[in-house]
Amino acid sequence: MQSFSKFLFSSCRGLLLQENSRFAEALHYYKLAIGSRPTLASAYLNTGIILMNQGKTEEARRTFLKCSEIPDENLKDPHAHKSSVTSCLYNLGKLYHEQGHYEDALSVYKEAIQKMPRQFAPQSLYNMMGEAYMRLSKLPEAEHWYMESLRSKTDHIPAHLTYGKLLALTGRKSEAEKFFLKAIELDPTKGNCYMHYGE
């Protein structure tokens, strides 16, 4: 019981510190939480996100990988665990994507899709799949995943913008315009919506 309350305290404290941008302290408490409960995927996820934001990409990569390998047997909340693991894989894919390793990113995104629980909101994951395919000049695959992203969340602004870019690139300018205008309508304060439309 004592180790459970210790892990709970460490985990909550880490989250609170992270929300207040006290990242070094947050990392310390996530480390304690993982020490008390090595299967706590959410602590690995938050640790990885902090490390990624600090530019410690290799440490972040190892943390996300470790998280993705945690088995989901005998856990109190397998759904929350699977959501955290899926988020770890999504962030790992993003990390590869930002480094220009699009094939690696795709392989990780595919694993995330296989592991994601039913309640996971997949629109960002699908949109990033589209982005990776677009970078590899596989435009039909990119279009498929942008459409999947919009199917899962019709008001997902990044997918409106990325799909709009693909349509413009393939000469379907009036269709592209509709997606850019929809993005602006969804959030008139977002400057990048106007920028994409202007381009």
pLDDT band per the 50, 70, 90 thresholds, residue 193: very low
- Please give the pLDDT value at position 192: 55
- More confidently predicted of 198 and 23: 23
Q: 67-121 pLDDT, tens per residue?
A: 999 987 777 778 889 999 999 999 999 999 999 999 999 999 999 999 999 999 9
Give me the DSSP letters along the chain. -HHHHHHHHHHHHHHHHHHTT-HHHHHHHHHHHHHH-TT-HHHHHHHHHHHHHTT-HHHHHHHHHHHHT---TT-S-HHHHHHHHHHHHHHHHHHHHHTT-HHHHHHHHHHHHHH--TT---HHHHHHHHHHHHHTT-HHHHHHHHHHHHHH-TT-HHHHHHHHHHHHHTT-HHHHHHHHHHHHHH-TT-HHHHHHHH-
39-65 pLDDT tens trace: 889 889 999 998 998 899 999 999 999
- Residue 7 has a pLDDT of 46
Higher pLDDT, residue 173 or 130:
130
| pLDDT 10s digits, 121-145 | 999 999 999 999 999 999 999 999 9
Question: What pLDDT sits at residue 195?
Answer: 55
pLDDT at 196 over 60: no
Q: Does the pLDDT of residue 182 top 60, yes or no?
A: yes
